[in-house]
Chains A and B, each alone.
Chain A
Amino acid sequence: MSAPAAPRPAPAAPGAGPPGEPAGAPRAPVGRSWRAFAAPAGVLVAGAAWMLYVENSGLDAIERRSLAPHYVWEKTWEHVQLTAVSTLAVLAVALPLGILLSRAWARPGTPIVLAVADIGQSAPTIGVVVLLAVAFGIGFWTTVVALVAYGVLPALRNTMVGLQQVDPALTDAGRGIGMSPAAVLARVELPLASPVILAGIRTTLVLMVGTASIASFVSSGGLGDLITTGVTTQRTPVLLTGCVLIALLALLVDWLGGTAARLLAPKGL
Chain B
Amino acid sequence: MTDTAPETPPGPAPAPPPDSARSSGAADGEDRRGIRLIEVTKRYPGQRAPAVDRVSLTIPGGEIVVLLGPSGSGKTTLMRLINRLIEPTSGTIVVAGRDALGLDPTELRRHIGYVIQNAGLFPHMTVAANIGLVPRMLKWDRRRTAARVDELLELVDLDPGAFRGRYPRELSGGQQQRVGVARALAADPPALLMDEPFGAVDPITREHLQDSLLRLQEELRKTIVFVTHDIDEALKLGDRIAILGEGSRIAQYGTPQEILLDPADAYVERFAGGGRATRPLRFCRVGDVPLRAVPEAAPGDDAAAVRERIGAAGTGFAVVLDEARRPLRWLFSEDLAGVSGPVGERGSPSAEPLRTRDTLQQALERLIQIDRECVPVVGARGAYQGTVTLATLQKALREMRERARTRRPDTARTVDTARTVDTAAGTEET
Contacts and interface: CB of A to CB of B under 8 A. Distances in A.
Partners in one complex: yes
Interface of A: 2, 169-170, 172-180, 183, 187-188, 191-192, 266-269
Contacts of A269: 123-124, 169
Nearest to B83: A176
B310 to A, nearest CB: 64
A173 B109 contact: no
A188 B125 CA distance: 9
Contacts of B137: 178-179, 183
Interface stretch (B35-43, B110-118, B341-349): B110-118
Interface string B126-138: 1000000110010
A266 B124 contact: yes
B85 to A, nearest CB: 6
A178 B107 CA distance: 6
A2 B118 CA distance: 14
Interface residues of B, number: 29
B125 A268 contact: yes
B332 interface: no
Contacts of B123: 2, 170, 192, 268-269
A178 B110 contact: yes
Contact of B167 (A172, A178, A188, A267): A267
Contacts of B299: none
A178 B106 contact: yes
A172 B126 contact: no
Interface of B: 83, 85, 106-111, 113-114, 116-118, 120-126, 133-134, 137, 167-169, 183-184, 193
Contacts of A2: 123, 169
23 contacts: A2-B123, A169-B117, A169-B118, A170-B122, A170-B123, A172-B116, A173-B114, A173-B121, A173-B122, A174-B122, A175-B109, A176-B109, A176-B116, A176-B193, A177-B109, A177-B133, A178-B106, A179-B106, A179-B137, A183-B137, A188-B122, A267-B124, A268-B123
B4 to A, nearest CB: 29
Contacts of A177: 109-110, 113-114, 133-134, 183-184
B316 to A, nearest CB: 61
Contact of B116 (A169, A192, A267): A169
Given A178-B110, A187-B122, 11 more contacts: A172-B116, A173-B121, A176-B109, A177-B110, A177-B134, A178-B109, A179-B106, A191-B124, A192-B122, A267-B167, A268-B169
Contacts of B133: 177, 179
A102 to B, nearest CB: 18
B278 to A, nearest CB: 36
Contacts of A172: 85, 116, 120
Nearest to B107: A178
A187 B137 CA distance: 12
A197 to B, nearest CB: 14
A175 B125 CA distance: 16
A269 B169 CA distance: 8
B110 A268 contact: no
Contacts of A175: 85, 109
Which has the most chain B C-beta neighbours within 10 Å: A175, A178, A187, A269?
Answer: A178
Nearest to A192: B124
A258 to B, nearest CB: 20
Given A177-B110, A178-B106, A268 B167 contact: yes
By Cβ-Cβ distance, the 5 closest A-B pairs, closest first, are A173-B120, A268-B167, A178-B110, A266-B124, A176-B114
A132 to B, nearest CB: 41
A191 B111 CA distance: 25
Contacts of B114: 173, 176-177
A2 B168 CA distance: 13
A180 B106 contact: yes
A169 B125 CA distance: 16
A173 B106 contact: no
A175 B122 CA distance: 12
Contacts of B118: 169
A268 B116 contact: no
A170 B120 contact: yes
A268 to B, nearest CB: 3
